[in-house]
Structure 1
Amino acid sequence: MSELEDIRTFYARLMAVNAASSDPRLEEVFASVPREAFLGPGPWTVITGNGTVTTPSADPAHICQNVLVALDTDKGINNGEPFLHAMWIGKLAPKPGEAITHIGAGSGYYTALLAKLVSPCGTITAFEIDENLAGLARKNLETYGNATIVHGDAVTSPLPPSDIIYVNAGVVAPPAGWLKALRPGGRMIFPWRPAERVPLAMLVTRTEKGFACDPFMRAWFIPCFGASLADLAAKIPTREQATRSRSIWLVEDRQPDRTATAIFEHVWFSSKAVSVRG
């Protein structure tokens, strides 16, 4: 085994252990998808704290670790923290044959990982609103026959029926169309940012009885265009209220009640749980 292969293997093992996933394929895809192929030519700019560091060379070993790599420093767009994405993907547990919608594909690295996890019969549709990044992702994913890149706005565009919706941009509330696109048993992860001081990652599962949700960790992403500002009549939660949320409801299906922790134009959050098993 070459030194770089050894580094890739160790990187993949770190991701799998951090994810605490029982699926051995998670480690396999992190080992087999070269991260540098989605970052442009090196050296690369690594984001750390409030500053940046440039890798000393274009050796992929420098980015086979848990570091943020800049894609567009002017817009604040980066490739994302591998530990976080490994954990999120592990929680979603993609299965072969499932249909995934990826919102905020960037240059396509995590799209590629997800595409491999639902192969051979599954598909992934990845939305990217930035034209340059969408073009880059399309080029990077040319060899992934089950991946489709859409240059467009996932907030206003209809989503395909999905077993998984993977959101990589912060929203004040998920658009109703995203919830409706989830198939029975479908899962969605999104960065919930109803207020500046309330950055949470939210896992949603569609059950027979409603949309169960679990705010399971803090997470910060760049705002999602068209879904990052609350309407004036919204009930914005405190951090404590947000962390007590256990279900999400469409206003058209059920009006907010005394269990509401947050209320928006089309959806609201409740402290009342629904059964994940339906």
Structure 2
Amino acid sequence: MTDTPTLDERRNQLVNEITATRELPEAVERAMRTVPRDQFLPGLDPSRAYTDEAVSIKDNPDGPLPLSLASVPSIVAMMLAQLGAKPGERLMECGAGTGYNAALMAEVVGPDGSVTTVDIDSDAALHARSMLDKAGYERVTVIERTGLLGAPENAPYDRMIATVGLWDIPEAWWEQLADGGRLVLPFRWRGQTRSVALNRRGNTLVSDGMELCGFVPIIGQDGERMVKLSDGTIRLHFDQDQAVVGDALGEVFSTPLNEVWSQARVGGQEPFDGVWLRATVSDDSVCRLEVTPEALEAGVRRPAIPIRTPALVEGGSLAYMILLREDVDAERPWRLGVAGYGPEGTVLARRLVGHIDAWGADRTAVPTMTIHRRVGPLVGGADGHVIAKDESVVVLAF
């Protein structure tokens, strides 16, 4: 018989699994080996606290996504590595969740630093406060408030982090982040979410890293839109600045299908989300397509990933990414292509294939994102592709 691992052993094994695939700063690794995640998830089988999975802590009666989650530990570690906090610094977190992330940050900044965490949900804020106290992190400040307002009480902050998806940079955050400070947030644009690490330089934020992630969107920002097609079995998600007209697309899936194939191939476990990222650097028509099993049963061409596939949309036409197993390459048996519908579907398909082939030629390339505060015209114009938000202007460039 083998002995059942202790919780300390399970916690260390989880961190070992994370560090086997990602290098972590010493302070972050030490914090993750120290803070007992199981204590922040009462009622859950303690052993489950040390699996690399998210845990819902409050359901959402108005939608499929929960109101609050304990994030996947490897994503927590990745974002804390992006944040790069140092002992003695002042940190703010938007989205208290269970309080676990705030405890990790408290370990990193030490007794001479400070951590303030904000959550709009009263139950989440109370849970975080209670769990932090029980785990010995009474020095963390927990505030019940919309994260869009930040926490001016303890500002300015050296670093700020969000654990909810943000579509824009709130004006209050510009007021509270110190010049030269660092911001890490799950940023949403053109239907995708990336954990973007940004450094502040006056009225601009400049990225030095992006990682794929997925987070519950923050309550209070409404820059994203959605239209239902094919009796609601297909959903198209887009941003408010995009010229998408649902009525024009009403019959698009009853038009002939045209397939165009790229030169790019992928392995079974090889990510290809970089196609989406690359397309947004130059193309304003990028959206997210969500296709339900009912639509697939009705004969709609299966997207590469049915619940979240990049699409190009213009007028009454659209095109989206698809896959085909060819097995001509044992390591990369899947070929990437595009399905086009509507009068300009083939044109859009060829354009998306161009983005796929550009990604295929340089799969690790990551663009730079510069976010300008909306305080006047851009000084010297924008050197890159501009995306307008309500409170900021985003510029993407390679």
Asked if these proteins are the same fold (TM beyond 0.5), I'd say yes
Q: Is the 8 A contact 1:175 1:227 kept in 2?
A: no
- Pick the aligned partner of 2:50 from 39, 64, 68: 64
- SS of the residue corresponding to residue 149 of structure 2 reads coil
Q: Is the 8 A contact 1:171 1:228 kept in 2?
A: no
Deviation at 1:28, TM superposition (A): 1.8
**Matches of 1:136 and 1:16 in 2, distance apart?**
29
**Matches of 2:40 and 2:169 in 1, distance apart?**
28
The one-letter code of the counterpart of 1:39 is L
Correspondence 1:251 to 2:244: no
**Matches of 1:17 and 1:181 in 2, distance apart?**
36
The one-letter code of the counterpart of 1:148 is T
Correspondence 1:150 to 2:143: yes
Q: Is the 8 A contact 2:158 2:177 kept in 1?
A: yes
Q: 1:187-226 counterparts in 2 under 5 A? A: 187-195=182-190, 197-207=191-201, 210-214=204-208, 216-226=210-220
**Matches of 1:167 and 1:181 in 2, distance apart?**
14
Deviation at 1:37, TM superposition (A): 0.8
1:131-176 per-residue CA deviation (whole Å, 9 max, x = no partner) reads 0110010111122143100000121355421111110111211112
**Matches of 2:149 and 2:19 in 1, distance apart?**
35
Correspondence 1:107 to 2:98: yes
1:201 and 1:141, CA in 2 relative to 1: closer, same or farther beyond 3 A? same
Deviation at 1:198, TM superposition (A): 2.0
1:19 and 1:145, CA in 2 relative to 1: closer, same or farther beyond 3 A? farther
Q: Is the 8 A contact 2:91 2:158 kept in 1?
A: yes
- SS of the residue corresponding to residue 199 of structure 1 reads strand
**Matches of 1:258 and 1:24 in 2, distance apart?**
37
- Give the TM-score of the pair, scaled to structure 2: 0.58
- SS of the residue corresponding to residue 105 of structure 2 reads helix
**Matches of 2:48 and 2:240 in 1, distance apart?**
44
**Matches of 2:371 and 2:78 in 1, distance apart?**
22
The one-letter code of the counterpart of 2:223 is L
Structure with max Cα Rg: 2
RMSD: 2.8
Count, aligned residues: 255
1:31 and 1:157, CA in 2 relative to 1: closer, same or farther beyond 3 A? closer
Any stretches of 5+ residues in structure 2 without a counterpart?
A: 226-238, 244-275, 282-365
Q: Is the 8 A contact 2:92 2:151 kept in 1?
A: no
Any stretches of 5+ residues in structure 1 without a counterpart?
A: 43-57, 274-278
- Pick the aligned partner of 2:109 from 118, 127, 133: 118
- Give the TM-score of the pair, scaled to structure 1: 0.81
Q: Percent identity?
A: 21
Q: Which residue of 2 aligns with 1:9?
A: 12
Deviation at 1:265, TM superposition (A): 2.4
100-109 vs 171-180, greater mean Cα deviation: 171-180
Correspondence 1:168 to 2:168: no
Q: Is the 8 A contact 1:16 1:26 kept in 2?
A: no
